[in-house]
A and B are shown apart, each in its own frame.
Chain A
Amino acid sequence: MTSVRVREAKKAFNGQSVLRGVDFAVRDGEIAALLGPSGCGKTTLLRLIAGFERLDGGAIEIHGREVAGEGLHVPPERRRIGYVPQEGALFPHLTVLGNVGFGLARRERTRERIGEVLALVGVQELAERYPHELSGGQQQRVALARALAPRPEIVLLDEPFNGLDLDLRRAVSAEVVATLRRSGASAILVTHDPEEAFASADTVAVMNQGAIAQQGDPRSVYLQPASAEVARITGAAVFLDATIRGAVAETALGSMPLGAASPGVNGFARVCVRPEQIVLGAPGSGCAAKILARSFRGDHTVLTVAIGEFRLPVRAPTSFAADASVVEVALEGSCVAFPR
């Protein structure tokens, strides 16, 4: 059963088209990520699902019930959603207790029920505090508790970890995901950070220029991007010129098998390789390259090397010889090819 289904969603602001016919679905109990650069329409899509904006065309269903469509707009308060905005937006005039109890019906608004939800996110001891007395991470957890308290059909998270520093961000997002899984709710997470999307979501929808460019599980969108843009949005990518012969791409660094996602590309093409696929090879196993620069990264070192006119980054172990000026570079795994 699907939790959310969006069909042909269209939306324009001031005559500027922001969504141009988006199809998107989330299954029950699933966590989906909407991943894309800023301005791609991911937040607009989330706000349409929430009901904060009206659709210009298309339809939205939540749990099999149509909530937006031709002549229909169910207001947000009747969609049974949970919403966690950027920076949490806790109500500054209410305590944690007041915030979490806010969405509960009066008879449900008991200390026990609220305590239960606070325990779910692990902040029961903060019940009497006001938002300005909480750290950023605590604020996010309370915001999630507030969204989960009324047992929504689906939780919508709009770049909720943006305000947190990197360390906290990973930890809090892991906790939030764990909590969501425990609660059994479906969720949609809007983010521009691929690592966050992959770590959190069962399915990732990559958005670009008002449309969904690809939706699939994290592995497939990362390893088999449907387009060069998707490759760029989902992580660092190196593009190499190549000649395709059957299932093999021949590049300046040697030949490499094509992944399943590049059928029908033949002859001259570009292949996409992830940086971690470019490795140092044993002498004779790859292609000789000149080291131009080295950048120490702690657990590894990144070399910038040149093969003829072509420059590319290569990961080397920290222990890599400091005086070497030439290395042997090789490719690992399979790649995806796009027509040139």
Chain B
Amino acid sequence: MTLALAGAGRRTRSPSWLTLAVLAPTLLISLPIAYVATRAWQVGLAGVAEELFRARTAELLVNTVTLAGSVTLLSALIGVAVAWCVERSDVPGRRWWRVAAALPLAVPAFVASFAWASMGVAFQTMPGAVLILTLSHYPLVYLPVAAALRGMDPAFDDVARSLGRTSWRRFVSVTLPQAWPALGAGALLVLTHMFAEFGALALLRVQTFTTAIFESYELEFDGGTAALQSAVLLALALPPALFEMKLRRDLRFARVGKGGRRRLSLTPLGGARPFVLFGMAALIALALGAPCAVLAYWLAVGKSFGHAAADIWPAVKGSLTLALPGALVVTALAAPLALAATRHLGRLSGLAERLPYVVHGLPGLVVALALVFFSIRFFPEVYQTVALLFAAYAVLALPLAQSALRASLELAPARFEEVARSLGKGPVAAFVAVTLPNMLPGVGAALALITLELARELTATLMLAPIGVTTLATEVWSQANEGRYAAAAPFAALLVAVSAIPVYVFTRRSLELHDL
């Protein structure tokens, strides 16, 4: 342990190539911030004060914090509980549950919300929204925590047991503290997702800063109000992002050494087994069953079925050609951030690593408009090309890649690269030959998660994609917008099916990470 500490103290300044590589994503990420600042500046100080101290702002603040806080807390509870059941208890069918528990991630929140909203007004409330969004977001906590529980050294558990700790106290005093970093990373993603959520909340009739931003753009055309509301969102996302970094930094040294090769002992559930089984079945039925039932209902009842059949293939093609290469670009941009953060954590690289998480709380509309603003002024050549769209995707999805990459980078310590350099490889060659191959599981996980996120991205795609390109998400929007739910259903079903593949890959990858 002391050796690890000494090693950490020796953390070096990042080499210049890495500094350069960190610069690109950092620059991109700062564009929306600069845009929000520019537009807010135009409102003037008096306007800022007036906007911030309106009763409406307080109302939105309460709603946003209530929603995001509740969903994050509930997702953390459910995510940790499910992860524990799947990884550390003797619940029957663990392999099956392991994947099933992640699948709700494949259902876009707006599809789930539509399903629930049409079932009754009771769901079109704050508690309803919290329930529905928790059901579609808990896997963001479940996946990293499950991976952490799996990779944990069984020795800790054995020691606690020898000290007479019961199963529950062992969980609280030994298991949970080791899972903190994973839990913190997952919870931060859920929180910032909630800040940025629009589609689902519009359907569930809950007003947050993001829905207010969309409203402002709907009815006002100077962007001032929206900019101020965006600024509040950024300010809201900053403290949790910093807190999560601190959490991870404090616990960095607790994770030295490889996890044991021995299998973890499973806690027998005993009499609680039927309840656990029922609980997990109910959770997945609610999270997956309800949206699927509604899709089936649309198909059965709607008269517009088959209406847009000819658009299906172009949309699938559009989704794949944007989401897959987009995921590659985002992952490539995230890699230096993750690398700098795990190897050369200083004040600056710390900030560069955190910024994407803060901006992750901004709605896609603001990010898209920011890129419109800057690209048309400074890089008109890339405007409405795939290149600009990918830049927008990067701003929207970097943190997902960062979290996945960081986990695998921690398994490829800097020592590997030092050995490679002692054997005559230059810094870049050493990275390519040694670090990159060991990051691949994390790269796979990052690609899967981002493909998922990008496949359902709507606003930036509509604004920035090359003209005429459609995706499954834009078609769902277009058909549902016109009330043609049966026509939308095949697109939505395909979107879920296409998303299920990356979820499956991601689940296998992230769980295997610690099996290496």
Whether A and B touch (Cβ < 8 Å) is answered with: yes
Minimal beta-carbon separation of B405 from chain A (angstroms): 16
Asked whether any CB of chain B lies closer than 8 Å to the CB of A182, the reply is: no
Looking at chain A's contact residues, the main secondary structure is loop
Asked whether any CB of chain A lies closer than 8 Å to the CB of B413, the reply is: yes
Asked whether any CB of chain B lies closer than 8 Å to the CB of A103, the reply is: yes
Contact A103 to B424, CB < 8 A, known contacts A53-B10, A91-B416: yes
Q: Which of A35-57 contact B (CB under 8 A)?
A: 38-39, 43-44, 47, 50-53
Q: Which of B320-328, B432-440, B455-463 contacts A (4 or more CB under 8 A)?
A: B432-440
Please give me the residue from chain B that is nearest to A156 by CB atom: B422
Asked whether any CB of chain B lies closer than 8 Å to the CB of A85, the reply is: yes
Residue picked from A51, A53, A89, most chain B C-beta under 10 Å: A89
Residues of A in contact with B, size category: 35 or more
Question: Judging by beta carbons under 8 Å apart, are A75 and B516 in contact?
Answer: no
Question: Judging by beta carbons under 8 Å apart, are A102 and B2 in contact?
Answer: no
Question: Judging by beta carbons under 8 Å apart, are A85 and B418 in contact?
Answer: yes
A14–B347 CA distance with the chains assembled, in angstroms: 13
Asked whether any CB of chain B lies closer than 8 Å to the CB of A77, the reply is: yes
Minimal beta-carbon separation of B177 from chain A (angstroms): 25
A13 cross-chain contacts in B, Cβ below 8 A: 9-10
A52 cross-chain contacts in B, Cβ below 8 A: 12, 418, 421
A53-93 vs B, CB cutoff 8 Å, 1 = contact: the mask equals 10000000000000000000001111111110110010111
Question: Judging by beta carbons under 8 Å apart, are B3 and A83 in contact?
Answer: no
Asked whether any CB of chain B lies closer than 8 Å to the CB of A111, the reply is: no
Choose among B3, B9, B423, B516 the residue that contacts A102 (Cβ–Cβ < 8 A): B423
B349-362 vs A, CB cutoff 8 Å, 1 = contact: the mask equals 00000000000000
Asked whether any CB of chain A lies closer than 8 Å to the CB of B6, the reply is: yes
Question: Judging by beta carbons under 8 Å apart, are A43 and B422 in contact?
Answer: no
Question: Judging by beta carbons under 8 Å apart, are B3 and A85 in contact?
Answer: no
Q: Which of B1-18 contact A (CB under 8 A)?
A: 2-3, 6, 9-10, 12
B379-406 vs A, CB cutoff 8 Å, 1 = contact: the mask equals 0000000000000000000000000000
Minimal beta-carbon separation of B378 from chain A (angstroms): 37
Q: Which of A85-135 contact B (CB under 8 A)?
A: 85-86, 89, 91-93, 102-103, 132
A137 cross-chain contacts in B, Cβ below 8 A: none
Question: Judging by beta carbons under 8 Å apart, are B422 and A132 in contact?
Answer: no
Asked whether any CB of chain B lies closer than 8 Å to the CB of A212, the reply is: no
B6 cross-chain contacts in A, Cβ below 8 A: 38-39, 43
B2 cross-chain contacts in A, Cβ below 8 A: 38
Residue picked from B416, B421, B430, most chain A C-beta under 10 Å: B421
Question: Judging by beta carbons under 8 Å apart, are A77 and B418 in contact?
Answer: no
A91–B424 CA distance with the chains assembled, in angstroms: 15
B424 cross-chain contacts in A, Cβ below 8 A: 77-78, 80, 103, 150
Contact A132 to B516, CB < 8 A, known contacts A38-B2, A52-B418, A76-B418: yes
A77–B437 CA distance with the chains assembled, in angstroms: 20
Contact A102 to B420, CB < 8 A, known contacts A77-B425, A89-B413: yes
B430 cross-chain contacts in A, Cβ below 8 A: 77
Please give me the residue from chain A that is nearest to B429 by CB atom: A77
A135-161 vs B, CB cutoff 8 Å, 1 = contact: the mask equals 000000000001101101000100100
Asked whether any CB of chain A lies closer than 8 Å to the CB of B483, the reply is: no
Contact A50 to B422, CB < 8 A, known contacts A13-B9, A44-B10, A89-B415: yes
Question: Judging by beta carbons under 8 Å apart, are B422 and A147 in contact?
Answer: yes
Minimal beta-carbon separation of B408 from chain A (angstroms): 12
Question: Judging by beta carbons under 8 Å apart, are B10 and A77 in contact?
Answer: no
Asked whether any CB of chain A lies closer than 8 Å to the CB of B419, the reply is: yes
Asked whether any CB of chain A lies closer than 8 Å to the CB of B239, the reply is: no
Question: Judging by beta carbons under 8 Å apart, are A103 and B418 in contact?
Answer: no
B3 cross-chain contacts in A, Cβ below 8 A: 38, 86, 159, 162
A220–B424 CA distance with the chains assembled, in angstroms: 37
Minimal beta-carbon separation of B443 from chain A (angstroms): 13
Minimal beta-carbon separation of A223 from chain B (angstroms): 30
B10 cross-chain contacts in A, Cβ below 8 A: 13, 44, 47, 53
Please give me the residue from chain B that is nearest to A93 by CB atom: B437
A102 cross-chain contacts in B, Cβ below 8 A: 420, 423, 433
B422 cross-chain contacts in A, Cβ below 8 A: 50, 76-77, 79, 81-83, 103, 147, 152, 156
B12 cross-chain contacts in A, Cβ below 8 A: 52-53
Residue picked from B424, B426, B438, most chain A C-beta under 10 Å: B424
Question: Judging by beta carbons under 8 Å apart, are A83 and B438 in contact?
Answer: no
A14–B3 CA distance with the chains assembled, in angstroms: 18
Residue picked from A39, A53, A76, A103, most chain B C-beta under 10 Å: A76
Question: Judging by beta carbons under 8 Å apart, are A150 and B423 in contact?
Answer: yes
Asked whether any CB of chain A lies closer than 8 Å to the CB of B268, the reply is: no
B415 cross-chain contacts in A, Cβ below 8 A: 85-86, 89
Sample (24) of A-B pairs whose CB atoms are under 8 Å apart: A13-B10, A38-B2, A43-B6, A52-B12, A53-B10, A75-B421, A77-B421, A77-B429, A77-B430, A82-B423, A83-B422, A86-B415, A89-B419, A91-B416, A91-B419, A91-B420, A91-B434, A103-B422, A103-B424, A132-B516, A146-B423, A147-B423, A149-B423, A150-B424
- Contacts A83-B418, A146-B423 supplied; 19 other A-B pairs, CB < 8 Å: A13-B9, A14-B9, A38-B3, A38-B6, A52-B12, A52-B418, A52-B421, A53-B12, A77-B426, A80-B424, A82-B423, A85-B415, A89-B415, A89-B418, A91-B419, A91-B420, A92-B438, A102-B420, A146-B419
Q: Which 6 pairs across A and B sit closest by C-beta, in order of nearness?
A: A103-B423, A83-B422, A76-B421, A93-B437, A89-B415, A77-B421
